[in-house]
Amino acid sequence: MPKTPTPAAATEVWFYHLERTGLEQALPELLEKTLQRGWKAVVRVREADRVQHLDAALWTYRDESFLPHGADDEANAPRQPILLTTGFENANGADALFLVDGAEPGELTGYARCVVLFDGGDESQLAVARAQWSQVKAAGLPVSYWRQQARGWEKQA
């Protein structure tokens, strides 16, 4: 049974600093872990063409894996375990929100966790992540920072 936060629960915000792999490798692995928890996910991007790109990447990222997903403009969007979108709605009742490409978080109420993935080699993504970190801290939400190391993800803060 999926775990969802109580109305008074604050959304945890986790920042993932990509340094050793790209988004197309890191995101599917994190989405697999999300589904293993019994959670649904929304993946928010800034541009509609990225929805199509990630859709293809999730179908093909690993032969032995299947990540059930769809885009928010499809008929069965509310039933998708993973929903790809540029919008701010939580159309599938997701527990986890993934922000990529500097996407804005919008309202976090109702999500157990928000995961911000950013490319450490992209100065614009670093700047957006720093600004989002400051906003989350100012809002008093629980926040943590994960850095990609040779042996996997390591919590830094």
Alpha helices, H only, 38-114: 48-60
pLDDT value, residue 1: 44
**How many residues does this entry show for the chain?**
157
Q: Where do the domains of the chain lie?
A: 12-155
Band of residue 137 on the pLDDT scale cut at 50, 70, 90: very high
Q: Is the pLDDT of residue 4 over 70?
A: no
pLDDT value, residue 118: 95
Q: What is the CATH number of domain 12-155?
A: 3.40.50.10110
Share of the chain above pLDDT 70, in %: 95
pLDDT by residue (tens digit) across 12-70? Answer: 999 999 998 889 999 999 999 999 999 999 999 999 999 999 999 998 888 888 899 99
